[in-house]
A and B are shown apart, each in its own frame.
Chain A
Amino acid sequence: MIGAIGRSTRNALIQLGSIYRLLLGMVNELGDQVSRRRPPLRRRVLFEQTDRVGIGSIPLVAMVSFFIGLTMALLIGAELKVYGTERLVPQLIAIAFSRELGPLMTGIVLAARIGAAFTAELGTMTVSEEVEAVEAMGLGPLRFLVAPRLLAITGLLPCLVVISTLAAVFGSFLVSLYYLNIAPGYFFDLTQEGLRVRDVLMGIFKSGVFGLIIGLVACYRGLTVKGGAAGVGNATTSSVVTSVTTVIGTDTLFNILQQALLPNQ
């Protein structure tokens, strides 16, 4: 039992080291290309990745956040109505999504939608020796394959959080209007009270970190696939599981730190 814990801790640390080396290697390869006065990334590849990570994820992120926002507003509203304090609903939803649920939901959605795709793609390329071919041509697989994906997911997760928060606020708007009878103008005032600059910035920062985690885990798992098609399947599952748990764990850590260092009010 203790041996098993020790072994898995050791494995986790080894993998953390490898992921760090992957990041370092990518930065080095990008630097090489820059020092040869060439664009470090191909614009078209970057565009393809940002398009699928960003534009492609909008519907799912918006839908999930809208439904969760609406449900929360409905349930909280029903409770608070009893005490006549239902006007707290818009504020609560705004706080919850801008600093907590927005980054978390978006992170989980992207881990499943994009992280899995990254691992499966890179895994298939590894198995079919395409990654090795890229390396053998001297193109630098980390620069060529990992960098655009990592950049796309790290840069666009924060943007998607904004969409997520807007969708959730829209859900709470519908509930406020039709169920809690809060007038639209008053709703926007109340929501604005909930949107604090500090929370929004924290949420955006956090989500960038989540994007980096998901991208690194997914690419690392993809590039280290062994054992053919079955290996790709296993790696994809493990990539999603690892990045979702790491994202939730990191989020908890962020919240503990935030409460300890910058307590509310």
Chain B
Amino acid sequence: MNPEAATHSIDRRDEIRHLHDGEPAPAANADDGGAGDDDAPLVELQDVVLRFGKKTVLDGVSLAVYPGERLIVLGGSGSGKSTTLRLIMGILQPTAGRVFFCGHEISALGRRELNVLRARIGMVYQYSALISSLTVRDNLALPMEELSDQKPEEIDRIIDEKLAMVNMGNVKSAMPAELSGGMKKRIGLARALVLDPELILFDEPSAGLDPVTSSIVDELIINLTEQTQTTSIVVTHEMDSAFRIGTRMVMLYEGKIIADGPPEEFRHSSNPVVTQFVEGRTEGPILDSTRHHDPKPEQPATTTAGR
């Protein structure tokens, strides 16, 4: 985008590369995942297993996300979608298996390297997760002030630019609590963009929004990722927005990826789980634990902030 920001992110890339001097790059990832090489996956999960106590959330998930893709991750509530994003950010460690970003094994990095790498990933939260004690402007300025060497004028310029990108130019001095859900989501998106990340993760971008606002946010996701050439992973269970946004889809069910392919395949899938989910029918293999009086009903996982 702007030349200074670009050199800046290259600097960060060098820092990461430097940290890993001499270490053999993992298979199929000889390159650093830079913009030039489209064959190496940007994100890769290899046989990832994740358990919380006795509960297995992910049970051998393998997934490669390539530069430029808008990958939709489908799945019911509690199927481990947010957990998958947390694994990519290095907030959770897999019980088994490996997670890569740009050829670096996220699950094996020290805290310091991890933090450098995290600056290259933007995350948009289900409920925006803006820092409630800071104004919109300060929320956007925070990552730049803490992690980059930009001058104050430069920071202000980037803030204006990113806010204009999400059509929210006039709320800089508002506190997050004064904004509506859709506005917060857009500010959250602007915050994810300030460091010009290579990858943006969206956790249920349409959750809690009315259909119109939800479509606007979907449009923004499409336009921004195309403008900035970023890869994105969008977690959702809203089929309309999934088909609007996605260039590729995967579906998580019972800890495994049961379908992976272009959106068209999902519309005409032969897998009964996928068809039930896509069409939102009550009849089918996906059990509704409350209706069927399952002897071990699943915890109501996503009622509080998705945890």
Contacts and interface: CB of A to CB of B under 8 A. Distances in A.
Closest 4 CB pairs of A and B: A138-B115, A138-B118, A133-B129, A228-B304
Interface string A100-127: 0000000000000000000000001101
A137 B130 CA distance: 12
A128 interface: yes
Given A29-B111, A32-B112, A228-B305, A139 B129 contact: no
Nearest to A228: B304
B129 A129 contact: yes
Contact of B132 (A32, A128, A140, A227): A128
Contacts of B306: 129
B285 interface: no
Given A135-B91, A136-B123, A139-B147, A130 B116 contact: no
Nearest to B195: A137
B119 A125 contact: no
A132 B304 contact: no
Given A128-B129, A128-B132, A129-B126, A139 B143 contact: yes
Interface string B145-169: 1110000000000000000000000
B71 interface: no
Given A125-B132, A228-B304, A138 B119 contact: yes
B220 interface: no
Interface of B: 86, 89, 91, 111-112, 114-119, 121, 123, 125-127, 129-132, 142-143, 145-147, 304-307
Interface residues of A, number: 24
A117 to B, nearest CB: 12
Contacts of A124: 132
A88 interface: no
Given A29-B111, A133-B123, A139-B147, A128 B305 contact: yes
B131 A138 contact: no
A42 to B, nearest CB: 8
A147 to B, nearest CB: 13
Secondary structure dominating the interface of A:
helix
B64 to A, nearest CB: 22
Interface string A218-232: 000000001110000
A130 B142 contact: no
Count chain B CB atoms within 10 A of each CB in A32, A132, A134, A137 and give the residue with the most. Answer: A137
Contacts of B147: 137-139
B177 to A, nearest CB: 11
Nearest to A145: B131
Contacts of A29: 111
Contacts of A132: 86, 91, 125, 129
A38 interface: yes
Nearest to A143: B146
Interface of A: 28-29, 32, 38, 42, 124-125, 127-130, 132-140, 144, 226-228
Contacts of B123: 133, 136-137
25 contacts: A29-B111, A32-B112, A32-B115, A42-B145, A125-B132, A127-B305, A128-B127, A128-B132, A129-B125, A129-B126, A129-B127, A129-B129, A129-B305, A133-B129, A135-B89, A136-B123, A137-B118, A138-B114, A138-B116, A138-B118, A138-B119, A139-B142, A226-B307, A227-B304, A228-B305
Given A137-B146, A140-B111, 12 more contacts: A28-B111, A42-B145, A128-B127, A128-B132, A129-B125, A130-B130, A130-B131, A134-B131, A137-B118, A137-B147, A138-B116, A139-B142
A228 B304 CA distance: 6
A157 to B, nearest CB: 23
A28 B115 CA distance: 12
Contact of B304 (A125, A127, A139, A140): A127
Contacts of A133: 123, 125, 129-131
Count chain B CB atoms within 10 A of each CB in A125, A127, A133, A138 and give the residue with the most. Answer: A138
B176 to A, nearest CB: 9
Contacts of B129: 128-130, 132-133
Nearest to B188: A133
Nearest to B120: A138
Contacts of A228: 304-305
